[in-house]
């Protein structure tokens, strides 16, 4: 049994960091309790130990800490989350404490928020389709159970509405296991928090959700713990309660800003744009907690959402996120300004596992073929529209004009489905065929003839006969 040590040797407090002298037997990541002179208690975590000095990361701010009177207790254990199946349907703050007026959670166990390293050999390959009800994702950038698929957004774009829509609508088709959503919000405003809570309550989605909310006026350092706490709850529900868990984390940019703040306080040598050099490694400790395990029915699927500063996809946060994750969904400011909701730019978006979760027995046998044809037709239609801007519409051939018509309808009817429409994958596939029917049959070069005969709307076949 570990011995709890208490010290009154605080020598310095710098921003979110505290230095404690003359310590012995203190470990990295150890949970720290700081008792102030007014009787209140705050929490922290050991970041670094050098000789007899310990650097402590404060989760609840450093204001009001008296260097001479503060008592520091090293508990001998890591920061842990009390977990129970009763967490489903509840709302917590960024440190895992209930804020919905309900009772405290009676824990079945306590789990280290940093999780356990997963042996690569024990990982199972993601291959089950998750339906989000959004055509641009389900049909064109398919999400697979156990995948990590981020959303790259920008300031002012409706990523919170998209996140709420996915949280409401997502489900694993033809599955007997329960589905749960773990929602981690970092650095959001009170207005945004109210939006998420009200949306999930009004639609009933709160009954299958666990919310962890870190507000913009909460200590920035708390944001470093919030996603880890959320993922710990998700792993418990997935691997011990056999649930399919979708983890939505927003906004990862705020998380990275908190990392930069701590790094600056530690006087570390900065990396790109002032972010710490270990940003890639740190992000990987979050994203790699997604997946499926051999012999376990449950799974953890991640949709991290980040806002790209100045819409710059080469910024370190989206750049490094793209290296770790399995694709990206990109929101377009041009589509947003044109009134399309959700403004998903499907051409640069990508799901690297989309072929694993689609096809006969999972979605429908025409899924891959129609997806490829829609991509090709949309790209060609965009080129035709650009050509018309330069040379005028008179320079377009009859076929080019059909591609322009297809592109306009594709954006207005397929992408622009709104934030309340929940389309099944069958509805998305059928809509895709309806749009492809605009084009001559000879242009559908990526789809086999027998598939065209089976699925192309009859009115179109008769017109092209």
Question: What's the total number of domains in the chain?
Answer: 3
Tell me, yes or no, whether 110 lies in a domain: yes
DSSP 441: G
> Is 278 found in the same domain as 323?
yes
Q: What is the pLDDT of residue 429?
A: 98
Q: What is the pLDDT of residue 64?
A: 87
Tell me, yes or no, whether 15 lies in a domain: yes
> Is 315 found in the same domain as 182?
yes
Model confidence pLDDT, tens digit, residues 148-165 = 999 999 999 999 999 999
**Burial of 352 per CB tally in 10 Å (0-12, 13-18, 19+):** middle
Residue found by looking up tokens 């008592």 in the block: 71
> Is 268 found in the same domain as 189?
yes
Model confidence pLDDT, tens digit, residues 309-343 = 999 999 999 999 999 999 999 999 999 999 999 99
Q: Could you give the C-alpha distances from 72 to 27, 41, 77, 437, in angstroms and in order?
A: 14, 10, 14, 71
Model confidence pLDDT, tens digit, residues 5-32 = 789 999 999 989 999 999 999 999 999 9
Tell me, yes or no, whether 152 lies in a domain: yes
Confidence of residue 176 (pLDDT cuts 50, 70, 90): confident
> Is 438 found in the same domain as 301?
no
Tell me, yes or no, whether 395 lies in a domain: yes
Q: What is the pLDDT of residue 460?
A: 57
Model confidence pLDDT, tens digit, residues 256-291 = 999 999 999 999 999 999 999 999 999 999 999 999
**221 contacts 56 by C-beta, under 8 angstroms:** no
CATH code: domain of residue 27: 2.40.30.20
Model confidence pLDDT, tens digit, residues 65-74 = 999 999 999 9
On average, the pLDDT of the chain sits at 94
Q: Which residues contact 72 (CB under 8 A, 6 or more apart)?
A: 6, 7, 8, 9, 10, 18, 20, 32, 33, 34, 35, 56
**60 contacts 178 by C-beta, under 8 angstroms:** no
Sequence-distant contacts of 262-265: CB under 8 A, at least 24 apart: 262/16, 262/17, 262/47, 262/57, 262/221, 262/224, 264/15, 265/14, 265/15, 265/16, 265/17
Tell me, yes or no, whether 362 lies in a domain: no
Q: Which of 303, 323, 356 is the last residue of a domain?
A: 356
> Is 66 found in the same domain as 124?
no
User: What is the token pair recorded at 457?
Assistant: 């709307």
Tell me, yes or no, whether 397 lies in a domain: yes
> Is 372 found in the same domain as 230?
no
**Any bridge partners for residue 380, and if so which?**
none
Tell me, yes or no, whether 361 lies in a domain: no
Q: Which of 15, 47, 77 is the last residue of a domain?
A: 77
Q: Is the pLDDT of residue 2 over 80?
A: no
Dihedral pair phi/psi, residue 268, rounded to 5°:
-80, 155
Tell me the three state secondary structure of residue 257. Answer: helix
State the DSSP string of 215-238: ETTS-TTHHHHHHHHHHHHHHHHH
Q: What is the pLDDT of residue 276?
A: 97
Mark out the alpha helices in 338-448 (DSSP H runs): 367-391, 398-409, 425-436
Nearest to 170 by CA among 277, 301, 65: 301
Model confidence pLDDT, tens digit, residues 97-123 = 999 999 999 999 999 999 987 888 999
Rounded to an integer, what is the distance from CA 386 to the centroid of its chain? Answer: 34
Q: Which of 331, 356, 381 is the last residue of a domain?
A: 356
Q: For residues 186 and 220, give the distance between their C-alpha atoms in angstroms, rounded to a whole number.
A: 9
> What range defines the domain where residue 21 resides?
5-77
Tell me, yes or no, whether 231 lies in a domain: yes
Q: What is the pLDDT of residue 3?
A: 66
CA angle 249/251/253 to nearest 5° reads 125
CATH code: domain of residue 193: 3.40.50.12240
Q: For residues 305 and 212, give the distance between their C-alpha atoms in angstroms, rounded to a whole number.
A: 15
Q: For residues 410 and 320, give the distance between their C-alpha atoms in angstroms, rounded to a whole number.
A: 31
Q: For residues 174 and 180, give the distance between their C-alpha atoms in angstroms, rounded to a whole number.
A: 15
Q: For residues 354 and 328, give the distance between their C-alpha atoms in angstroms, rounded to a whole number.
A: 12
> Is 266 found in the same domain as 152?
yes
**Any bridge partners for residue 78, and if so which?**
30
> Is 117 found in the same domain as 45?
no
Model confidence pLDDT, tens digit, residues 35-58 = 999 999 999 999 999 999 999 999
Q: What is the pLDDT of residue 410?
A: 98
- Whether the full predicted model's pTM is greater than 0.85, yes or no, is yes
> Is 348 found in the same domain as 379?
no
Nearest to 259 by CA among 235, 233, 236, 285: 285
Confidence of residue 462 (pLDDT cuts 50, 70, 90): low
Q: What is the pLDDT of residue 80?
A: 96
> Is 342 found in the same domain as 330?
yes
> Is 286 found in the same domain as 220?
yes
Q: What is the pLDDT of residue 36?
A: 93
Q: For residues 332 and 136, give the distance between their C-alpha atoms in angstroms, rounded to a whole number.
A: 13
Q: For residues 200 and 196, give the distance between their C-alpha atoms in angstroms, rounded to a whole number.
A: 6
Q: Is the pLDDT of residue 463 over 60?
A: no
Q: Is the pLDDT of residue 344 over 70?
A: yes
Model confidence pLDDT, tens digit, residues 381-409 = 999 999 999 999 999 999 999 999 999 99
Q: For residues 1 and 118, give the distance between their C-alpha atoms in angstroms, rounded to a whole number.
A: 27
The CB density around residue 202, as the number of other CB atoms within 10 Å, is 10
Which of 56-60, 83-87, 301-305, 349-353 is predicted with the least confidence, judged by mean pLDDT? 56-60
**Any bridge partners for residue 19, and if so which?**
12, 55
Tell me the three state secondary structure of residue 353. Answer: coil
> Is 146 found in the same domain as 50?
no
DSSP 98: B
């Amino acid at each position: 049994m570990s011995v709890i040590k208490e010290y009154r040797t605080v020598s310095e407090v710098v921003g979110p960091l505290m230095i404690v002298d003359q310590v012995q037997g203190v470990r990295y990541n150890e949970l720290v309790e700081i008792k102030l002179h007014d009787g209140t208690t705050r929490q922290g975590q050991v970041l670094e130990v050098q000789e007899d000095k310990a650097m402590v990361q404060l989760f609840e701010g450093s204001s009001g800490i008296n260097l001479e009177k503060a008592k520091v207790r090293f508990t001998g254990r890591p920061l842990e989350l009390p977990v129970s199946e009763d967490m489903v349907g509840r709302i917590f703050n960024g440190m895992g404490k209930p804020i919905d007026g309900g009772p405290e959670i009676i824990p079945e166990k306590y789990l280290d928020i940093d999780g356990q390293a997963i042996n690569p050999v024990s990982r199972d390959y993601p291959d089950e389709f998750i339906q989000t009800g959004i055509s641009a994702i389900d049909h064109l950038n398919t999400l697979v159970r156990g995948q990590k698929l981020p959303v790259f957004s920008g300031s002012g774009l409706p990523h919170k509405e998209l996140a709420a829509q996915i949280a409401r609508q997502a489900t694993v088709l033809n599955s007997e296991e329960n589905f749960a959503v773990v929602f981690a919000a970092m650095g959001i405003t009170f207005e945004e928090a109210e939006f998420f809570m009200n949306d999930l309550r009004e639609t009933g989605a709160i009954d299958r959700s666990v919310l962890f909310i870190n507000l913009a006026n909460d200590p920035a350092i708390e944001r470093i713990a919030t996603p880890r706490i959320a993922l710990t709850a998700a792993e418990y529900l997935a691997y011990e309660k056999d649930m399919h868990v979708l983890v939505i984390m927003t906004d990862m940019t705020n998380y990275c800003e908190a990392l930069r703040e701590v790094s600056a306080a530690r006087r570390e040598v900065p990396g790109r744009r002032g972010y710490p050099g270990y940003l890639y490694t740190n992000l990987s400790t979050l994203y790699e907690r997604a997946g499926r395990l051999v012999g376990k029915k449950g799974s953890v699927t991640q949709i991290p959402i980040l806002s790209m500063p100045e819409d710059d996809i080469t910024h370190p946060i989206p750049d490094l996120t793209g290296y770790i994750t399995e694709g990206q969904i990109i929101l377009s400011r041009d589509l947003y300004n044109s009134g399309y909701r959700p403004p998903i730019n499907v051409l640069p978006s990508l799901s690297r596992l989309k072929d694993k979760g689609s096809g006969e027995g999972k979605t429908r046998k025409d899924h891959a073929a129609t997806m490829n044809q829609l991509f090709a037709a949309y790209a060609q239609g965009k080129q035709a529209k650009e050509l018309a801007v330069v040379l005028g519409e008179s320079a377009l051939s009859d076929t080019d004009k059909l591609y322009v018509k297809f592109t306009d309808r594709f954006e207005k009817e397929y992408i622009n489905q709104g934030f309340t429409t929940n389309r099944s994958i069958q509805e998305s596939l059928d809509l895709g065929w309806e749009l492809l029917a605009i084009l001559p049959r000879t242009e559908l070069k990526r789809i086999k003839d027998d598939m065209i005969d089976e699925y192309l709307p009859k009115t179109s076949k008769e017109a092209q006969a």
